[in-house]
Structure 1
């Protein structure tokens, strides 16, 4: 039985429910990442005894599942997408936006399918846009392909943000600090392709990079949908 199938305990004198527990856990994670979340710390934030929480949540993993599903409510499209391409774009963009608000989300994306009501609603909104456009298997592969792109891109972006926070160095500060080493290595002539990329490549921000890569992936998916393999 999943945490969503298990009923909550009867109301007790001090108000407590899963929504309040999850909100407190998300606040802790937003402040200090998933390592800052424990049933004991959540209980302390709610001014409740830790054992009370076990009536609502059995394990930390269940708590993470509930936190993830709560954030999927932010990913759920506000309006029905017009077509499959918009549906997949909205899924990618809104997931990235949610991860920038809640960086710990990057650590929970991917892996086994999430079964909470909000996650299922997101999947329904996405897959329904592909219904009638292609067969079920091809539609699933399309979603998996786009998901693989944006999850990887989000994790890289969040990792960079964490590095900036940990070192106190922005991207450009880091580049300036390591510039002499890179210059010396490129001057050896052993890395001509890399040298060309460093000297001639455009410096784009994370949002532009994400949007460009997403467009390329969607173009590739569109080509498969238009010209399916024989």
Structure 2
């Protein structure tokens, strides 16, 4: 097929839906993505396959290839379905409030769909809803006092998105570990507390000891929003000459 991309197929976002077939099970890309999302929510990305999706939909696996060419396109559809939820975030009063609202919506989505965190920070997400969230984020951060030009905006977006990716992946990993081991953070700290106390009592780790003894012990949500404040404070700061 001769396309603007040479012989490569058009991106899934530019390919029209296949014509409906006269079969008992009507299909759309949205239906396929919703079914794939339910499977990934229950079994993770490792448990996701076109064969399982087809079985859940009551069709043959080959039928799905009319709608998606490969697993990568399937993941693109699933990711953009999650971004559709984030894109519902309404603009707030001020750039900082809007950035916080988008971050909060992204965290909520990642905790509801843990596989989504696995795909953050990988290849660019270019679906229409992902682009809408990117536009909303950039439009908010460009209003920060410390953002003077496009270079500042690129750095601000980089810092904001890097924080989201790292924070959400860490939180999701901790949730998974607690679930698979049956040991939550409190139990883990209790078990290793005596060892850590003995190590800190040696005096070799004074700064770590200060963090453990005097530092605030926040829960996951508090930690996320507290550290987000630090990132936004940095973006709001004036650019160094």
TM-score normalised by L of structure 2:
0.88
Equivalent position of 1:101 in the other structure:
112
Q: Secondary structure at the match of 2:13?
A: coil
Deviation digits for residues 78-118 of structure 1 (CA, Å, limit 9, x no counterpart): 32233322232222111111111111111010133211010
Q: Measure the CA separation in 1 of the matches of 2:81 and 2:47.
A: 18
For 1:33-44, list aligned pairs within 5 A. Answer: 33-44=44-55
Instruction: Give the drift of 1:20.
Output: 0.8
Instruction: Give the drift of 1:197.
Output: 2.1
Asked if the contact 2:50/2:61 (under 8 Å) is kept, the reply is yes
Q: Measure the CA separation in 2 of the matches of 1:194 and 1:126.
A: 35
- RMSD between superposed Cα atoms in Å: 1.7
Deviation digits for residues 143-202 of structure 1 (CA, Å, limit 9, x no counterpart): 211111121111111111011011011111111122232233223332222223222322
Asked if the contact 2:36/2:48 (under 8 Å) is kept, the reply is yes
Stretch moving more, 73-82 or 150-159: 73-82
- Is 1:8–2:22 an aligned residue pair? no
- Is 1:70–2:81 an aligned residue pair? yes
Unaligned runs of 5+ in 1: none
Equivalent position of 1:163 in the other structure:
177
Q: Which of residues 178, 197, 204 is equivalent to 2:211?
A: 197
Instruction: Give the drift of 1:49.
Output: 0.7
> CA 1:67–1:184 in structure 2 vs 1: closer, same or farther (change >3 Å)?
same
Q: Measure the CA separation in 1 of the matches of 2:43 and 2:28.
A: 23
Q: Measure the CA separation in 2 of the matches of 1:78 and 1:157.
A: 22
Q: Secondary structure at the match of 2:12?
A: coil
Q: Measure the CA separation in 1 of the matches of 2:203 and 2:150.
A: 51
- Equivalent pairs counted in the alignment come to 227
Q: Which of residues 41, 46, 54 is equivalent to 1:30?
A: 41
